[in-house]
Structure 1
Amino acid sequence: MTEVLDAFGVTGKIEPIGSGHIHKTFKISGQQNFVLQRVNKNVFTKPEIIATNNRVASLYLRNHHPEYLFPQTLLDKNGNDLYYDSEGFPWRLFSLIENSFTIDEVHSEEDAFAAAQGFGLLTKNLNGIDVSLFNESLERFHDLSWRYEQFENALSHAQPEVIQKAKGEIEAAHSFKHLVDEYQQLIASGQLILRITHNDTKVNNILFDSLTRKVICAIDLDTLMPGYFIYDLGDMVRTFVSPVNEEEKDVSKIQFRKNIYDALLKGYLAPMESILTSDEKKSIPFAGQMMTYIMALRMLADFLRGNTYYHITYPEQNLVRARNQFHLLELICKNCA
């Protein structure tokens, strides 16, 4: 750690912060406070793409929306966005945004509206940027067709006893296959405009002001890259509308809170409605369906493969997650037709 601090020319007390599972994040407290983060090179195999995407976005926003706060990395002593330590891990440094906090769950319409508005404003402010300047930091991240192929591939190689355990979830996966067809038709039609989207719109990726509870900015910009608005809106629907998350084993606790859905949709459209086309708006109900299905497929596929991607604390955790998400998907389909 001393090597990394020296590379950025900072000193101070070091303590771990955050609830994320991908990177290791630390607060550096001293004369000036910083956030230091070690990027998970096993997930993001080309971290320089993240740095380039963020740099391009930051420059555009500085020129076109100078009032908008966009967290940008500080450079090391050699002028680089990333510092690679002796083990090959990339590190990055941010100024700490004081008097701020994040939340892990949506409990009110006000928070749903504010968070959704925050994510929408990011995409709205980047409207007009040259999308070709960006690359995918995670290839085909929200490509439903590809995720379905991965599920089928995992199923074809799974052990018989594993398939038996997941019989109900496999049947659910096949029963929603029509969503893949709908996704393919939607992309092929050209009705959706490729934009720069956040692509990981969980509520804890919004920074709130400690005094006013207003949104300061969107954070965790690793997946800021080309995408469709249904990715951002859909992941908000998936993670906001139920009072319990994907770890909940008791599916009876999973609910579709219409008041939260209405609030998040209103919040997202506050900045986005003026730039979404009429064709795009027609796909709003599909957004939550496809993003919930994609996560159910990914979790189920990981269980069938032997739990090689998502961190687990017990053997059937990915199966529980998939079951949870398929139940939520049923509720979303009923309420977002």
Structure 2
Amino acid sequence: MKDLLSIVSKFKVQGTVGEIKPLGAGLINDTYKVNTTEADAPDYVLQRINHAIFQNVEMLQDNIAAVTGHIRKKLTEAGETDVDRKVLTFLPTEEGKTYWFDGDSYWRVMVFIPRAKTYETVNPEYSYYAGAAFGNFQAMLADIPATLGETIPDFHNMEFRLKQLREAVAANAAGRVAEVQYYLDEIEKRADEMCKAERLYREGKLPKRVCHCDTKVNNMMFDEDGKVLCVIDLDT
């Protein structure tokens, strides 16, 4: 078991660290809640970055810094008075980086947002709020001046994904193609439309945009009234 207290101490946290315990059920990164003992000090979230998936951690964190910095600027200019609850805040180390490498794993720390929650499933009203929040997220990033790196190459390249699917169908390694042929046919019927974005981009008709690329409802935080506070999980 890693010495989590020692890892947290590498970051510029406020207050005295007390209990550290697992948080959530994320599939990619290991996440922990870091409680501080003082009432006026924030709590934190400690996360071990999955280096097998995100192999260029410096680029990953630079991307996140550019995105959160731009959103913070937009919110401030719009007169938002609760900016710290509307965008993630990552802590620097003594060296000024937003991650720390312990010789084996990469770690990062962000400020815990109190009185906020995530949901795995939502009702139609919350779905509307979620859709609006992701739309607003994309709108705020439409004019981001920074050039972001690609953390997982071809992660949302539909042409590449269809190629992978077709290769898997041809190989039929598990002998299950016949069972799902209806669904495969439905995908092929839509293949041309599914690849339209990549095609238009190559033709110069669609500009490159910053996208979240994992727009599901549990990647946003809601307040106590069911309104969206902020979009999270900015790795992709």
Q: TM-score, normalised by structure 2?
A: 0.83
Corresponding residue of 2:198: 187
The alignment yields a C-alpha RMSD, in angstroms, of 2.0
- Please give the per-residue CA displacement for 1:136-195, whole angstroms capped at 9, x wherever unaligned: 111111111111111222344443xx12x3422245324421322223344323554432
What is the CA-CA distance between 1:216 and the residue it aligns to?
0.8
CA distance in 2 between partners of 1:55 and 1:34 (Å): 17
Please state if 1:148 is matched with 2:151.
no
Corresponding residue of 1:91: 107
Give the conservation status (yes or no) of the 8 Å contact 1:3–1:85.
no
* 1:222 to 1:175, Cα distance in 2 relative to 1, 3 A: same
Question: What runs of 5+ residues in structure 1 fail to find an aligned partner?
Answer: 224-337
Corresponding residue of 2:232: 219
Please state if 1:205 is matched with 2:185.
no
Please state if 1:19 is matched with 2:35.
no
Paired amino acid for 1:150: Q
Structure-to-structure mapping, 1:42-81, within 5 angstroms: 42-66=52-76, 67=80, 68=83, 69-81=86-98
- Please give the per-residue CA displacement for 1:52-79, whole angstroms capped at 9, x wherever unaligned: 1111123323333323522031111221
Structure-to-structure mapping, 1:92-171, within 5 angstroms: 92-106=108-122, 108-130=123-145, 133-159=147-173, 162-163=174-175, 165-170=176-181
Give the conservation status (yes or no) of the 8 Å contact 1:74–1:95.
yes
CA distance in 2 between partners of 1:221 and 1:207 (Å): 13
Pick from 5, 8, 31: which aligns with 2:8?
5
What is the CA-CA distance between 1:9 and the residue it aligns to?
5.0
Give the conservation status (yes or no) of the 8 Å contact 2:12–2:91.
no
CA distance in 1 between partners of 2:197 and 2:231 (Å): 28
Paired amino acid for 1:2: L
- Please give the per-residue CA displacement for 1:222-253, whole angstroms capped at 9, x wherever unaligned: 11xxxxxxxxxxxxxxxxxxxxxxxxxxxxxx
Structure-to-structure mapping, 1:22-41, within 5 angstroms: 22-30=28-36, 31=38, 32=41, 33-41=43-51
Corresponding residue of 1:301: none
What is the CA-CA distance between 1:99 and the residue it aligns to?
0.7
CA distance in 2 between partners of 1:12 and 1:64 (Å): 34
CA distance in 2 between partners of 1:205 and 1:185 (Å): 26
Give the conservation status (yes or no) of the 8 Å contact 2:12–2:92.
no
Q: TM-score, normalised by structure 1?
A: 0.59
Structure-to-structure mapping, 1:290-301, within 5 angstroms: none
Paired amino acid for 2:140: N
Paired amino acid for 1:183: M
Give the conservation status (yes or no) of the 8 Å contact 2:91–2:108.
yes
* 1:58 to 1:143, Cα distance in 2 relative to 1, 3 A: same
Larger helix percent: 1
- Please give the per-residue CA displacement for 1:30-61, whole angstroms capped at 9, x wherever unaligned: 13310110011111111222211111123323
Identity %, equivalent residues: 28
* 1:62 to 1:149, Cα distance in 2 relative to 1, 3 A: same
CA distance in 1 between partners of 2:125 and 2:170 (Å): 45
Give the conservation status (yes or no) of the 8 Å contact 2:158–2:198.
no
What is the CA-CA distance between 1:3 and the residue it aligns to?
2.9
Count of residue pairs brought into register by the alignment: 216
Give the conservation status (yes or no) of the 8 Å contact 2:23–2:31.
yes
* 1:215 to 1:222, Cα distance in 2 relative to 1, 3 A: same
